[in-house]
Amino acid sequence: MDAQSVKNTATAENKGYDAGKKISGIKRHLAVNINGFPQAIHMTRANVSDRDGASAMIALHAMHLRQVQNVLVDGGYSGVNFQLDVASNLNATVQVAKRNELHRFEVIPQRWVVERSFSWLENCRRLWKNCERQLTTSLQMVVLAFLALLLKRF
């Protein structure tokens, strides 16, 4: 599970400012399986924190995610409140994949799965920036991009 901040164009109505990444736009929250295919997608304004957006995504998609036993997240999702949300909605545990303390680049295999899914979205030119006025339209464009990806593979 991870989130990605995306810049907006001038036509977009729903936008917020992500101060950590210095981006004005929206945030895509994505939960994927071990193959990188989406299990849950949620769109928020960029000023919503990763934990709050992920909690909302889990609450919205709890029925689809009921077989999940382990949720792998990065350090931005650490916290007792998020673990309690996951435990109450999914009856699952949270595993935090922490970076190396030396702050040098190192591939963490568990984190690579969701990052690869975001890179698949970046292959769609229309998703480089958020051109849509509504968050629901942005969500449907991401769903269409993943459908096109699946159709190419099978």
Q: Compute the Cα dihedral for 57, 58, 64, 70 and give only its sign.
A: positive
Residue 76: pLDDT band (50, 70, 90) is confident
Q: How far apart are the C-alpha atoms of 81 and 8, rounded to whole Å?
A: 30
Q: How far apart are the C-alpha atoms of 64 and 23, rounded to whole Å?
A: 31
pLDDT of res. 101: 58
- For the ranges 4-13, 24-33, 86-95, the lowest mean pLDDT is seen at 4-13
Closest listed residue to residue 56, CA positions, set 139, 149, 141? 139
pLDDT of res. 104: 65
The pTM for the full model equals: 0.86
Whether the per-residue pLDDT at 44 is higher than 70: the answer is: yes
Task: Give the 3-state secondary structure of residue 136.
Answer: helix
The secondary element (H helix, E strand) that includes residue 95 is strand 93-96
Residue 49: pLDDT band (50, 70, 90) is very high
Q: What string of DSSP letters covers 106-133?
A: ---HHHHHHHHHHHHHHTSGGGSSB--S
The pLDDT of 63-70, averaged and rounded, is: 92
Give the relative orientation of helices 50-60 and 80-90 as an angle to the nearest 10 degrees. 10
Residue 99: pLDDT band (50, 70, 90) is low
Q: How far apart are the C-alpha atoms of 141 and 145, rounded to whole Å?
A: 6
Closest listed residue to residue 35, CA positions, set 148, 146, 144? 146
